[in-house]
Amino acid sequence: MENIRDALNKILNKSDFTIYMGKLDKDITAYKLPTSKKEEIVNKAIEEATWCYNELINKYGELSPIKYAIRMQIPVVYVREKPTKYYAYLGLFTEKNQTITLNIETIDFVKKLINEYNLSDLVDIDRLKDTVFAHELFHYFELIYPDLYSNQKILDAKIFGLFKTKSQLLVVGEIAAMHFAKLLTKLKHSPLVYDKVFSLGKKQLL
């Protein structure tokens, strides 16, 4: 396994903006966009996340993510599902029934890795669950506010290579959700750190 401390330090030494630009660079539908367009997308995603955060605080005050879900009457489900080679997650938002699902199996596994590799000086173990929850809570905002930037069709595309149209860039919602989660949990490092710990250790669960 890649040296986990080195991998985390690479993330910790980057700004949020640089991390979000990196997510666009790795997205198959966005990596060819010009740098100026990527910067515009990242800035708008950050603005969107900040707007949603302010809406929540102004309406309900400072609460934990789970208490926001209770106030907003969002169903919450806790499961224990081991990842497979092709499918793994810490949390999910299901649009059909507007439900947030937290996978306690994988959340506990990330906590175990943080302790096993003595990463508590780099990673905030106590905010992991809230951060996962907050990320999925943002996707609920995308559902109830269809005019959000991450819901818009912002990419030029063609149908059958002939007819010009616009398509949605899904990674925008992931960037905004990541930033929203960081704001809501007052996390000092990027939520991407948790994903990195999980991805590096996932083979142990398969």
Under the banding of pLDDT at 50, 70 and 90, the label for residue 10 is: very high
- The pLDDT, as a whole number, for residue 3 is 86
CA distance 41 to 101: 28
What is the model's pTM? 0.91
- Bridge partners of residue 166, in order along the sequence: 156
Q: Worst-scoring range by mean pLDDT, 1-15, 62-76, 85-99, 156-170?
A: 156-170
- The pLDDT, as a whole number, for residue 159 is 38
